[in-house]
Chains A and B, each alone.
Chain A
């Protein structure tokens, strides 16, 4: 089961870096700061999945040394990625002069002496949840089916993050570990849809097919 979850982590690496690549192309072409933040978010998420994948492999394959701190580093990357995603939404909220930023501040003041891994997992959960709320708000405004799909994808990721947090409490339940990875992967695969749409749109625009 561990091996499956490690392989799934590397699918997450591929999806995250693909989204980051498309967003970075946007930064290069039109110098958009929103796309720069999106690039940063998915680069961090990609590194997070990669580190967590390698940590998992180090437990399965003997003689593959990996420091314990790598677990924290992986989670830190992941949380930073989700933070950039939430931060992008928060900036959009500020630019459209409506309330909603307070939701982002809430988790920062809600900890009291918890362990670092717990804090990172909880922060990730809040950041993704904030992303879900804002993406749903955006869908209500634009009625774009892709936006609704992304909201569903982010919701799956936030559920996965919640299960990850639960798996920290119940360390002996392997099913929770696999369940959180599957939820996150389904969420990430849904996030991959705009990348596919972008590729199709680009082919149409270039007229190469």
Chain B
């Protein structure tokens, strides 16, 4: 069944994708983030610029398209997120 996601969960999903799909080390394209993040292009573009602005994602500018890579701050955010997700899940709650 489809579920609504909170903003913090969407951010964690995008960061996870940027981390896990970056197998070659040269970043992840918007198409991959859109497919895995299940967001509209407009919403994803806005979110990506927010995440880059807050230093959670790094924007790698290629010839034509931009690619995104998780930053150290983003990795730390994800670790903290998973810790508190565990804590909330113990109480039967979702983040």
Determine, out of A7-15, A26-34, A60-68, A72-80, the stretch whose residues face the partner at the interface. A26-34
In angstroms, Cα B87 to Cα A201, docked, is 10
A residues 176-209 near B (Cβ < 8 Å) are: 191, 193-194, 197-198, 201-202, 205
Q: Are A197 and B86 CB-contacts (below 8 A) given A139-B92, A150-B91?
A: yes
Q: Are A202 and B83 CB-contacts (below 8 A) given A34-B6, A97-B1?
A: yes
- 0/1 interface trace, chain B 65-95, chain A, CB 8 Å (1 if under): 0000000000001011101101111111111
Nearest A residue to B3 via CB reads: A96
Q: Are A30 and B3 CB-contacts (below 8 A) given A88-B93, A135-B91, A194-B91?
A: no
Q: Are A38 and B88 CB-contacts (below 8 A) given A95-B4, A98-B1?
A: yes
Residues B87 and A198 in contact, CB atoms below 8 Å apart: yes
A residues 19-62 near B (Cβ < 8 Å) are: 22-23, 26, 29-35, 38
In angstroms, Cα B4 to Cα A29, docked, is 22
Residues A26 and B92 in contact, CB atoms below 8 Å apart: no
Nearest B residue to A151 via CB reads: B92
Question: How many interface residues does chain A have, given as a range?
Answer: 35 or more
Chain A residues with Cβ below 8 Å from B1 are 96-98
Q: Are A35 and B92 CB-contacts (below 8 A) given A97-B1, A97-B2, A198-B83?
A: no
In angstroms, Cα B8 to Cα A147, docked, is 22
Residues A32 and B6 in contact, CB atoms below 8 Å apart: yes
Residues A35 and B89 in contact, CB atoms below 8 Å apart: no
B residues 1-41 near A (Cβ < 8 Å) are: 1-8
Chain A residues with Cβ below 8 Å from B94 are 34, 92, 95-96
Contact of A33 among B5, B6, B83 (CB under 8 A): B6
Residues B95 and A30 in contact, CB atoms below 8 Å apart: yes
Residues B86 and A35 in contact, CB atoms below 8 Å apart: no
> Shortest CB–CB separation between residue A84 and chain B, in angstroms?
11
Residues A26 and B84 in contact, CB atoms below 8 Å apart: yes
Chain A residues with Cβ below 8 Å from B93 are 34, 38, 88-89, 92, 138
Residues A34 and B95 in contact, CB atoms below 8 Å apart: yes
Chain B residues with Cβ below 8 Å from A97 are 1-4
Residues A23 and B92 in contact, CB atoms below 8 Å apart: no
In angstroms, Cα B84 to Cα A35, docked, is 8
In angstroms, Cα B91 to Cα A144, docked, is 10
> Shortest CB–CB separation between residue B93 and chain A, in angstroms?
5
| Extra A-B contacts (9), CB below 8 Å, given A31-B8, A95-B6, A97-B3 | A26-B87, A26-B88, A88-B93, A96-B4, A98-B1, A131-B92, A147-B89, A193-B90, A198-B86
On A, residues with C-beta under 8 Å from B are 22-23, 26, 29-35, 38, 85, 88-89, 92, 94-98, 131, 134-139, 142, 144, 146-147, 149-151, 191, 193-194, 197-198, 201-202, 205
